[in-house]
Copies of this chain bind each other. A is one copy, B any other.
Amino acid sequence: MIRERMSSEHAPRIPEVTAHLIEAGGKRLRPMLTLASARLMGYGGPYHVHLAAAVEFIHTATLLHDDVVDGSEKRRGRPTANLLWDNKSSVLVGDYLFARSFQLMTDAGNMQVQRILSNAAATIAEGEVLQLTAAQNLATDEGTYLKVVRGKTAALFAAACEVGGVIAGAGADAEQALRDYGDAMGIAFQIADDLLDFWGGDGIGKNKGDDFRDRKLTLPLIKAIALADAGEREFWVRTIEKGKQVPEDLGEALRLMDKHDTLEATRAAALEWSARAKAALETLPDDPIRQMLADIADYVVARVA
Q: Is A238 an interface residue (CB 8 A)?
A: no
Which B residue's beta carbon lies closest to that of A112? B106
Q: Which residue of B9, B102, B127 is within 8 Å of A118 (Cβ)?
A: B102
* Residues from chain B with Cβ under 8 Å of A125 in the complex: 14, 92-93, 95-96, 98-99
A92-125 Cβ-contact flags toward B at 8 Å (1 or 0): 1111101110110110010100110011011011
- Nearest to A128 among chain B residues (CB) is B92
Whether A29 sits at the interface, judged by CB under 8 Å, is no
Interface presence of A78 (CB below 8 A) = no
Q: Please tell me if the beta carbons of A126 and B65 are within 8 angstroms of each other in the complex.
A: no
CB within 8 Å of B: which A65-94 residues: 65, 68-69, 87-89, 91-94
Which of A40-48, A129-137, A216-224, A261-269 sits within the interface? A129-137
Contact (Cβ within 8 A) B133 A121: no
Q: A96-B126, A126-B96 are in contact. Are A89 and B10 (CB under 8 A)?
A: no
CB distance from A90 to the nearest CB of B (A): 9
Distance in Å: Cβ of A156 to nearest Cβ of chain B: 12
Contact (A8, B129) CB under 8 Å given A91-B68, A91-B91, A106-B115: yes
Closest chain B residue to A129, Cβ basis: B11
Chain B residues, Cβ within 8 Å of A87: 68-69, 87
Contact of A122 among B96, B105, B128, B151 (CB under 8 A): B96
The reply to whether A106 and B129 contact each other, CB–CB distance below 8 Å, is: no
**Distance from A189 Cβ to chain B, minimum over Cβ atoms (Å):** 20
In the bound assembly, the distance between CA atoms of A126 and B18 in angstroms comes to 13
Residue of B nearest to A61 (CB): B95
Q: Which residue of B lies closest to A135 (CB)?
A: B88
Contact with B along A162-200 (1 / 0, CB 8 A): 000000000000000000000000000000000000000
Q: Is A213 an interface residue (CB 8 A)?
A: no
Q: What's the Cα separation between A8 and B127 when bound, in Å?
A: 10
Cβ contact within 8 Å between A111 and B106? yes
Q: Which residues of B contact A115 (CB under 8 A)?
A: 103, 106
Chain B residues with CB below 8 A from A124, complex form: 95, 99
Shortest Cβ-Cβ A-B pairs, 9 listed? A99-B121, A96-B125, A99-B122, A102-B118, A11-B129, A95-B125, A69-B88, A11-B130, A103-B118
Known: A65-B92, A68-B88, A111-B111. 11 other contacts (CB 8 A): A11-B127, A11-B129, A13-B133, A65-B95, A91-B91, A95-B124, A95-B128, A99-B119, A100-B122, A103-B115, A103-B119
16 CB-based A-B contacts, threshold 8 Å: A10-B130, A11-B126, A11-B127, A11-B133, A13-B132, A14-B126, A65-B92, A68-B91, A89-B132, A92-B125, A92-B129, A92-B132, A96-B122, A96-B125, A96-B126, A111-B111
